Amino acid sequence: MTNRIPIASPVRTAAIVNRYFVHAKKNLGQNFLVDLDAVQGIVRAAGIEPGDQVVEVGPGIGSLTEQLLLAGGKVAAYEVDQSLPEILANELPEKVDGQDLDQRFKLIMKDVLKADFATDLAGFFDLSKPVKVVANLPYYITTPIIFNLLESSLDFTSLTLMMQKEVAERLAAQPGSKAYGPLSIAVQTQMSVDLALEVGHASFMPQPKVDSAVVVLTPLEKPADVGDRKQFNRVVKLCFAQRRKTLANNLKTLLPNKEDREKLLADLDLDPRQRPEQLAISDFIRISRAVAEMNK
How far apart CA 91 and CA 61 sit, in angstroms, is 8
Residue by residue, DSSP assigns 152-172 as: SS--EEEEEEEEEHHHHHHHH
60: contact with ligand SAM by CB under 6 A: yes
Q: Which is nearer to ligand SAM, 116 or 126 (CB)?
A: 116
Q: Which is nearer to ligand SAM, 2 or 82 (CB)?
A: 82
Q: Which is nearer to ligand SAM, 115 or 264 (CB)?
A: 115
Least distance (Å) between residue 159 CB and ligand SAM: 15
In the complex, which residue's CB is closest to ligand SAM? 58
The residues facing 105 across adjacent strands are 75
232: contact with ligand SAM by CB under 6 A: no
* Residues making up the chain, counted from first to last: 296
Q: Which is nearer to ligand SAM, 43 or 186 (CB)?
A: 43
How far apart CA 253 and CA 196 sit, in angstroms, is 38
138: contact with ligand SAM by CB under 6 A: yes
79: contact with ligand SAM by CB under 6 A: yes
254: contact with ligand SAM by CB under 6 A: no
Which one of residues 70, 89, 113, 241 is an interface residue with ligand SAM (CB under 6 A)? 113
276: contact with ligand SAM by CB under 6 A: no
Taking CB under 6 A as the binding criterion, the range among 88-96, 107-115, 116-124, 283-291 that sits at the site for ligand SAM is 107-115
Q: How far is CA 164 from the centre of its chain?
A: 10
Count of residues of this chain found to bind ligand SAM when the rule CB under 6 A is applied: 22
112: contact with ligand SAM by CB under 6 A: yes
41: contact with ligand SAM by CB under 6 A: no
Taken in order 269, 275, 276, 282, the sign of the CA dihedral is: negative
70: contact with ligand SAM by CB under 6 A: no
66: contact with ligand SAM by CB under 6 A: no
Which one of residues 6, 12, 22, 29 is an interface residue with ligand SAM (CB under 6 A)? 29
Taking CB under 6 A as the binding criterion, the range among 58-66, 94-102, 118-126, 280-288 that sits at the site for ligand SAM is 58-66
CB-neighbour burial class of residue 292 (10 A; exposed 0-12, middle 13-18, buried 19+)? middle
Measured from the Cβ of residue 86, the count of other Cβ atoms closer than 10 Å reads 10
Least distance (Å) between residue 296 CB and ligand SAM: 40
Least distance (Å) between residue 127 CB and ligand SAM: 20
Measured from the Cβ of residue 129, the count of other Cβ atoms closer than 10 Å reads 11
Which one of residues 32, 117, 180, 284 is an interface residue with ligand SAM (CB under 6 A)? 32
List residues near ligand SAM by CB under 6 A.
Answer: 28-33, 57-60, 63-64, 78-81, 111-113, 136, 138, 141
